[in-house]
Amino acid sequence: MVNLSVNINKIATLRNARGGNVPDILKVAVDCQNFGADGITIHPRPDERHITKNDVFNLKPLVHKEYNIEGYPSREFIDMVISVNPNQVTLVPDGPNVLTSNAGWDTIKQHNFLSEIISEFKENKIRTSIFIEPDLKMIEYAKLCGSDRIELYTENYAIDYNINKEKAIHAYKKAAKFALDLDLGVNAGHDLNLENLEFFVKNIPNLAEVSIGHALISDSIYLGLENTVQMYKRICL
């Protein structure tokens, strides 16, 4: 079984567009778990354009399953994560002005930087995951940095899926097998949806978790949140 972590950033974006507290992301987080999600993912950014710092702390007692916080490891982010102590922190390389995570880490160039940060999280018993492309050398250095898991950046898979799904999955199968050989856990995320998720899950047998936000929340507008979470979860079983 693959764990489904629902990224609720888009709920916060909708709330912030109007001000106030509608929709209530705390209620959404609780409901998603009750509907069958295995965890909640958030990606707070310095400008608080969706998830706020208060959200990060307020969600902690309400996430009774897996709590995953994504972000660029600035000093402020590191201190916040250590204070909240989630189950997992996912490190992404994008700076504060990037609209959405759109590339994986260069774990060779950033080896010393990542190693120091990961060591600090591990001292606080927080599982670490590095957002990464399906590049074997980058995965090798993710292991050398001390990471517990990698999160495979799946945008290219999603783009190529409708052209040639066998070709689209090839690099990811190879990357996941290599990670398994290195005793690295494998997560995945970015542009996975109801159309392409099943093929990905079936072809990555050691996949531990998928983090899905934009597509799931978009689907829920038409299908309803409870139904949508359960549809994604059934694919992950």
* Residue-level pLDDT at 100: 58
Domain boundaries, the chain: 3-236
Residue 187, pLDDT > 70, answer: yes
d(CA 187, CA 82) in angstroms, rounded, equals 21
Taking domain 3-236, whether its CATH number is 3.40.50.1360 is answered by no
Q: Check if 70 is active-site.
A: yes
* Residue-level pLDDT at 94: 79
Q: Check if 190 is active-site.
A: yes
The single residue of 50, 133, 151, 190 carrying the catalytic annotation is 190
The single residue of 43, 66, 133, 209 carrying the catalytic annotation is 43
Average pLDDT of the residues in 152-179: 98
Query: Distance between alpha carbon 143 and the CA centroid of its chain, in Å?
Result: 18
The single residue of 70, 133, 151, 209 carrying the catalytic annotation is 70
pLDDT in tens, 82-115: 999 999 999 999 765 555 556 799 999 999 999 9
